Structure 1
């Protein structure tokens, strides 16, 4: 089983937001040394809990501080942007880190409706997503647009001996079908849905897959997990994430609280959700979490899991990735 990482540059109470960005770069350097396969960064806008707003910029910083780990977006919310400009940005990234760039794209806004309209005022932007993917695939791969297309003869520079690998991201059957149609690798956001719909989306992807960029389907699953030196410590740290998820159910978003400040009384509905969340949570010692990850990978028939971990303390987050690397037998770089 291969392990990779997704980091969202989470905002934390009592810490400057710019520190979260620098912590992401430091985490990428650590994860490369630990032997993780790839390091992905997300895109969100005007969300008080997450300050990772520009993965392509953050990827450049990580590219020049690493040497072997794959670096990617998870993802670029394509309806906000010109596919041609995205292709140019990622070809520049590939020049900085040849053969190490993953271009993960998604259709979700990564924001609320008002913010999405500021990024792209066209209310039909998301309807153009399949066409955008087709155009992006061509420009990233160095292929020309067909006769009659406004982009015919236009090239995305710089060119090199390698090119970014385009990934389709999703948390429903829509992304799975699109990835299958274009023959792209597919990543399911298990951590967003708490696993709901994951098996069905993967089955849909594999069943409808048509050779394109890939000859055979290839998928991974992005899952939330947290390991600590003791199970008790892991559950203590989990309180920050637990509070954030419960609050989100009622539209409350904010920076991550320290575990000691995160505990509050829950009403009946919140308590039901909290228990469900804990029942599914991959939390414990390194060995305990590794066993849960292996079982999930076997159940879903994937050979790569992308792990996302939220903690208020960045050192606890780094320790979690260290413990998982040890428990899963990753080979240090």
Structure 2
């Protein structure tokens, strides 16, 4: 894989945080924990810090990545900051371009603009976000418009936006990324020559290698001269393997409950434990079989093997724990194992 900058001799690590809600703790506290985590991850040597967008979901309270990105920009000086992502069908591409041009003015050359077409919510909430919600068929056109405005290239004559500029302009511009968890995003990223990030943590890896193969096979030079892909994975390291699996119970319960349409804040490990039956037990076994969980050395080896299997030079790591200190410790352990900084 070729990076956006130069080929790295070792695996590059980045972070995705979703401001997860935690049972028994105020939701606004989760936002402040995200900011503190961004500062810590920059000090540890992580390359990017990405933020997701979800709406009216009791498990995840990160609803406005562009606002959080501004706060992270004010507290950091090196780490790249990005959206993972802006759910573009909700919004005007012109307004998104303006927001990210402002962000680039706050943190020149450090802004990643990741976009996706998923609603990040249910359809009722999506309609409240935008009563005139654009259809999925409009998404490729929205991406083209967004790129034109965010890069300052302008739109052609005959387009309603011809001659309109997204300000402020500067010496740098946000880097546009395509996000996805299926072949659709891979194909669209390849067609426009965009960097591509696959959401491995959503599908537990299902379809990941196929999407990356499709992206690389159909890539046409565009925003980039050659393919650039990364994979967002869920991983958790602790001081001991036993402790890591204890902490994993919170995420395991959230995943199994989600399959049944039950959403709520992340539970402490001890409260998350309950007997699983039937299909729940099967899903629990599958989660644990695929999980990138263990001691720092074990997770390092799992991540390294996965990156080699998928032929990527960067992994974006997302970690859920009920205790923010355990989440922070996981990132600290991995930074040490991979020699970041």
Q: If the TM-score is normalised by the length of the shorter chain, which range does it land in?
A: over 0.9
Q: 1:16 and 1:145 mapped to 2: Cα distance?
A: 45
Aligned partner of 1:149 among 139, 146, 159 = 159
Q: Which residue of 1 aligns with 2:4?
A: none
CA shift, 1:123, in A, is 5.3
Mapping for residues 108-187 of structure 1, pairs under 5 Å: 108-122=118-132, 124-187=134-197
Q: 1:266 and 1:92 mapped to 2: Cα distance?
A: 48
Q: 1:297 and 1:329 mapped to 2: Cα distance?
A: 16
Q: 1:123 and 1:164 mapped to 2: Cα distance?
A: 25
Q: Does 1:61 align with 2:71?
A: yes
CA shift, 1:216, in A, is 0.4
CA shift, 1:156, in A, is 0.4
CA shift, 1:265, in A, is 1.4
- Unaligned regions of 5+ residues in structure 2, if any? 1-10
CA shift, 1:329, in A, is 1.3
Q: Does 1:326 align with 2:336?
A: yes
Q: Does 1:192 align with 2:189?
A: no
Q: 1:132 and 1:314 mapped to 2: Cα distance?
A: 37
- Partner of 1:143, secondary structure, is coil
Q: Does 1:249 align with 2:259?
A: yes
Q: Which residue of 1 aligns with 2:7?
A: none
Q: 2:182 and 2:129 mapped to 1: Cα distance?
A: 24
Aligned partner of 2:239 among 226, 229, 232 = 229
Q: 1:243 and 1:11 mapped to 2: Cα distance?
A: 14
Deviations 1:169-212 (A, max 9, x none): 00000000000011100000000000000000000000010101
Mapping for residues 1-333 of structure 1, pairs under 5 Å: 1-122=11-132, 124-331=134-341
Q: 2:29 and 2:134 mapped to 1: Cα distance?
A: 36
Q: Normalising by the residue count of structure 1, what TM-score does the alignment of the two structures yield?
A: 0.99
Q: 1:38 and 1:76 mapped to 2: Cα distance?
A: 16
Q: 1:193 and 1:239 mapped to 2: Cα distance?
A: 18
Contact 2:296 2:337 in 1 (8 A): yes
Q: 1:61 and 1:147 mapped to 2: Cα distance?
A: 37
Describe the shift of the 1:85–1:123 C-alpha distance in structure 2 as closer, same or farther (beyond 3 A). Answer: closer
Output the aligned Cα RMSD. 0.6
CA shift, 1:57, in A, is 0.2
- Unaligned regions of 5+ residues in structure 1, if any? none
- Partner of 1:59, secondary structure, is helix
CA shift, 1:124, in A, is 4.6
Q: 1:72 and 1:124 mapped to 2: Cα distance?
A: 23
CA shift, 1:328, in A, is 1.1
CA shift, 1:282, in A, is 0.5
- Bigger drift between 83-92 and 262-271 goes to 262-271
CA shift, 1:307, in A, is 0.2
Contact 1:104 1:167 in 2 (8 A): yes
Describe the shift of the 1:124–1:141 C-alpha distance in structure 2 as closer, same or farther (beyond 3 A). Answer: closer
CA shift, 1:117, in A, is 1.1
